[in-house]
Structure 1
């Protein structure tokens, strides 16, 4: 949080952002524009009401980019949707790198608006998706937005998307602990169905360092850490089916997480099949029942569902 300058006139003053004391303050432009909201955001209660028909909200985070967070998010959504009796939503708030439309095979789809809000894009009868990627004119367009505009679109996604009734809403977030994450926590703070966070990592210490930062962030803002998924644990050869270590595992780093009471939900091999499935939007749970990778992810999904059900009955 930014420290106000000495002799700050306050946001309610006519001199807000204009007084000599405001020179050099990073909030000067916001204060002088009059756009600073000083009271509770009325959208927070509106979001809680809009999402009250969602049974479980789960955030997927990673302290580091490139660890396969969006891959895990899309796999998790597809796994949950294998149970045709449940409805699953997948919300992509990775504003600058919206890859979910590609992994789910719904690139180029148009979002329609009705009296009840934005309609999500349906991958199947019980699996729907919403992403910033649907709002771009081209998949190659760069999203060059400052924090306030990112916050606005996240607020719209939470308040204006007509998910109807969902058993699970999986939220794919960008790497780090910055604007998008703070906005999510702020806007979802009245949602009693926010169950917590799954953190995705790779085995090496450089990734686990950022995981520890992510866990610290979650604890500071009151988010429950449901567990860690270790991705790319070992390379699984598609020909000989032998495993080779690509990233040197940090046993001490993982043990530190376990000692802090953070459960390991499971480990996923580095399998070329997963990369191909994401590129070509293939549902890996349909035709790969004998795959070691799919078996590993099904165990993770089963473990998570049990954790969520236990939380729901507390």
Structure 2
């Protein structure tokens, strides 16, 4: 294996894994371009040899991905600028809530035969937690002539995660970017979300923190099939908002529509008296002030409730188990805002 070693002065590269060793220069044509490694901006670039060796032109699998996802009406990314803001927990509760909704936005009387069909794809490859939160972490993925069959939590809630493919629960995924990208492509191209011909109303995609390989890959692969947008999750303190601003900038630069910002852990709900108090008090106005500054939709605040932890650890639907919690009210309010924004 070749690579740049610590303290070395020469620019060595890892051709096997196509790792860019320095940031792209200004006016970079992009490694997928026909001019990669050949344009004026490539002169002197440490990545030139890598870009010249990469396959050129559009990915031939993109039409296959688009065709496979044609049975899905809406695709939503859940993003965060940093870890620890409860993004996966919020994703699980949002997915549970959507799976309990009627297919009609304004129908208050939910007919179980007309519930939304929901899918949840866990792209946090190094830290997959969605199977545990849905209570199906011991399940295995099955492959048939139609592709990979997702794991069904209920009749109308399907999930896919690398956790279902690991030999043991504690197995570490020690992968470089190209291998992660290959798995994302497999999930998009080969997972059969058709649900016996009904397809999905929503596919919720849980992503890792940051703005790196997984985010760029999912955006590139879904350009033709379309992404409805992204929900960005943060906590009230400025330390979290600093990284959220970077996530917002990423969305602006890559053309991902921001559906709104959710402030998680905005308060603490006492499980006994139901009173709410602020623990992570915002120092700069929190997510609401951020949305005002950047002219973004503020979707709502979700308070802390100790029962959320219990439900996530045991794979239970928090909304069904704790309908009286202020956190349940907050999740449902965000859910209905989301559906109105997308469907109406």
TM-score normalised by L of structure 2 = 0.81
The one-character-per-residue Cα deviations of 1:17-71 (angstroms, maximum 9, x if unpaired) are xxxx99993464675xx5x221110111211111111110000000010100101
Name the residue aligned to 1:144.
Answer: 174
Write the distance in 1 (CA, Å) between the matches of 2:192 and 2:185: 13
Matched, 1:52 2:70: yes
- The alignment covers a number of residue pairs equal to 296
Comparing 53-62 with 39-48, which one deviates more in the overlay?
39-48
Matched, 1:206 2:258: no
Correspondence for 1:187 among 221, 226, 232: 221
Name the residue aligned to 1:25.
Answer: 46
Distance 1:229 1:143, change over 3 A: same
Write the distance in 1 (CA, Å) between the matches of 2:86 and 2:118: 20
Matched, 1:38 2:56: yes
User: Could you tell me how far 1:285 is from its partner in structure 2?
Assistant: 2.3
Correspondence for 1:261 among 292, 295, 300: 295
Matched, 1:130 2:160: yes
The one-character-per-residue Cα deviations of 1:213-237 (angstroms, maximum 9, x if unpaired) are 1010001000000001110001111
Paired residues of 1:22 and 1:28 also in contact (CA < 8 A): no
Comparing 239-248 with 267-276, which one deviates more in the overlay?
239-248
In the alignment, structure 1 segments of 5+ residues that lack a partner are 5-9
Matched, 1:161 2:183: no
Name the residue aligned to 2:84.
Answer: 66
Name the residue aligned to 1:7.
Answer: none
In the alignment, structure 2 segments of 5+ residues that lack a partner are 1-22, 27-31, 102-111
Write the distance in 2 (CA, Å) between the matches of 1:136 and 1:120: 15
Correspondence for 2:271 among 222, 230, 238: 238
Matched, 1:171 2:193: no
Name the residue aligned to 2:24.
Answer: 2
TM-score normalised by L of structure 1 = 0.88
The one-character-per-residue Cα deviations of 1:175-209 (angstroms, maximum 9, x if unpaired) are 000000000111111013x1000000000011111
Matched, 1:303 2:337: yes
Paired residues of 1:73 and 1:172 also in contact (CA < 8 A): yes
Write the distance in 1 (CA, Å) between the matches of 2:48 and 2:78: 30
Find the residue that maps to 1:170 and give its secondary structure: strand
Find the residue that maps to 1:177 and give its secondary structure: coil
Comparing 37-46 with 162-171, which one deviates more in the overlay?
37-46
Paired residues of 2:235 and 2:286 also in contact (CA < 8 A): no
Write the distance in 2 (CA, Å) between the matches of 1:24 and 1:216: 25
Write the distance in 1 (CA, Å) between the matches of 2:134 and 2:48: 39
Matched, 1:81 2:99: yes
User: Could you tell me how far 1:253 is from its partner in structure 2?
Assistant: 5.0
Write the distance in 2 (CA, Å) between the matches of 1:76 and 1:242: 23
Root-mean-square deviation (CA), in Å? 2.3
The one-character-per-residue Cα deviations of 1:256-293 (angstroms, maximum 9, x if unpaired) are 32232211111111110111110011112223222211
User: Could you tell me how far 1:107 is from its partner in structure 2?
Assistant: 0.7
Paired residues of 2:251 and 2:258 also in contact (CA < 8 A): yes
Paired residues of 1:269 and 1:293 also in contact (CA < 8 A): yes
Paired residues of 2:117 and 2:157 also in contact (CA < 8 A): yes
